[in-house]
Amino acid sequence: MASQNRPASTLETIENQSETSKSMSISSIPGTVMKKLKTNLVFQSKWAELNGAMGDLGTYIPIVLALTLSRNINLGTTLIFTGIYNIITGLIYGVPMPVQPMKSIAAAALADPEFGVAEIMAAGILTGGILFVLGATGLMHLVYKLIPLAVVRGIQLAQGLSFTLTAVKYVRYDQNMAKSKSGDAREWFGLDGLILAVVCACFVIVVNGAGEDEHQPEGTENEAQGEAKGGINKEKVRKIIASLPSAFIIFCLGIIFLFIRNPKVVKEITFGPSSITIVKITKSQWKKGFIKGTIPQLPLSILNSVIAVCKLSMDLFPAKIFTVTSLSVTVGLMNIIGCWFGAIPTCHGAGGLAGQYKFGGRSGGCVALLGAAKLMLGLVLGSSLAKVLNQFPVGILGVLLLFAGVELAMAARDMNTKEQAFVMLLCTGVSLVGSSAALGFLCAMAVHILLWLRKWGKRDNH
């Protein structure tokens, strides 16, 4: 009724203002998107972000190299697609969200000579499809809400310790990357010797410490300046050491030693991208990929690549907003698209995120930089890069993987009650001994429910 009493000119003015506001909101969308992209890709520290980009190579290179050498996975295509994934996830999330190979599918392929490219891609597509559906329908969010924190921490601790044990194996023993098997004890000296790995590990510890907060309390700098009378400013020296890109330095050292170990590898490099073709998958290959690849991979992807990554992301970056829905959808889309063209099945991984954070990655620019490097290498060198990487000192990769594993395991330090620690350690123990995150998860959930029923019974008695 009030609108009927208003003059026509007033109504026209209101309508014009409404139309103007709508057009302004629509026109501001590109600006808002660009602002978000710039914010997500901004480098908090150039050297730290570059260093952080090296943080998950300890897991990425060995698995990709093993599948390339033993199962003829197209390394050039994998580098191109994973590079694009890195750039997109950096743009979307604004944190060093990793892109790593799906480990259970890789393990199935390496264990079975008849589990070839088609089966690997079938497993990746099916796993990605299921994750996409779980994310798009909101079921993944429901799963996330129902899983107790102690169980999530148990999964993270198990994965962290698994990485650490693998890293020690890389350092102590010679590795056959094509067969993904350990050989004789590593020699002490040499360009891939035990001494080199130990020195690299000590260098990382001196530079990065245990991952503690580098910000000093007020007055510390002045005290340091006061103590350094006419001598070396200890605080300045400490800051210089802490600012060194340790992971980047030892990775570059590995590249140098690679060519010193086998100078002839230069002749095996060919320039130009690998040919990208659509993978043809038969009915039997779909079936085998699902049974041997998707079934063991799916629990690991749900628990470690989505739920554990979401929790760790919120722990490390409380100012950012993460949802298991978006993570599940991005993992799904990566595999639904890339696997058809022969790119290795990939996911996000809590270990990769922990490793990149450990070495200084704090923004999406960290993984976008890594993605750009992968994309360039895939386009310029293609699959010939595999012959080069096969000469890379494995002990150095072990060092990078070691600190990524330790950083991930340390996420479990917030379990304060005895009951939480009990459930977490049970989940960790079963996951490690049984080599199955799904088995550890089921046991931990059963114990959590039994403990809840026990307390519920006590409340009724009182």
Q: 265 pLDDT band (50/70/90 cuts)?
A: confident
Q: How far is CA 11 from CA 18, 20, 254, in A?
A: 11, 14, 73
Q: Hey, is 378 helix, strand or coil?
A: helix
CA atoms within 13 A on the CB side of 270: 8
Q: 130 pLDDT band (50/70/90 cuts)?
A: very high
> What are the tokens at 253?
């050292």
pLDDT of 211 strictly over 80: no
Residue tagged 């002839």 (tokens): 264
Q: Where are the domains of the chain?
A: 43-211+234-415
Residue tagged 């009915």 (tokens): 283
pLDDT digits (tens, 9 = 90+) for 318-330: 888 889 999 999 9
User: Based on the number of CB atoms within 10 Å of its own CB, is 19 exposed (0-12), middle (13-18) or buried (19 or more)?
Assistant: exposed
Non-local CB neighbours of 12 within 8 Å, separated by 6+ positions: none
Classify each residue of 144-182 as buried b or exposed e, where b means 16 or more C-beta atoms within 10 Å of its C-beta. Answer: beebbebbbbbbbbbbbbbbbebbeebbebebebbebeb
Structure confidence at residue 231 (pLDDT):
52
Average pLDDT, the chain: 82
Q: How far apart are CA 67 and CA 179, in angstroms?
A: 9
Beta carbons of 427 and 308 less than 8 angstroms apart:
no
Q: How far apart are CA 297 and CA 304, in angstroms?
A: 10
Q: How far is CA 37 from CA 309, 327, 353, in A?
A: 21, 18, 20
Q: How far apart are CA 156 and CA 425, in angstroms?
A: 11
pLDDT digits (tens, 9 = 90+) for 137-172: 999 999 888 888 888 888 888 888 888 888 899 888
pLDDT digits (tens, 9 = 90+) for 20-58: 444 444 445 565 666 666 777 777 777 888 888 888 888
**What is the pTM (predicted TM-score) of this model?**
0.80
pLDDT digits (tens, 9 = 90+) for 365-391: 899 999 999 999 999 988 888 888 888
Structure confidence at residue 218 (pLDDT):
40
Q: Which residue has the higher pLDDT, 446 or 266?
A: 446
Span 227-231, average pLDDT: 49
Residue 404's identity, in one-letter code, is A
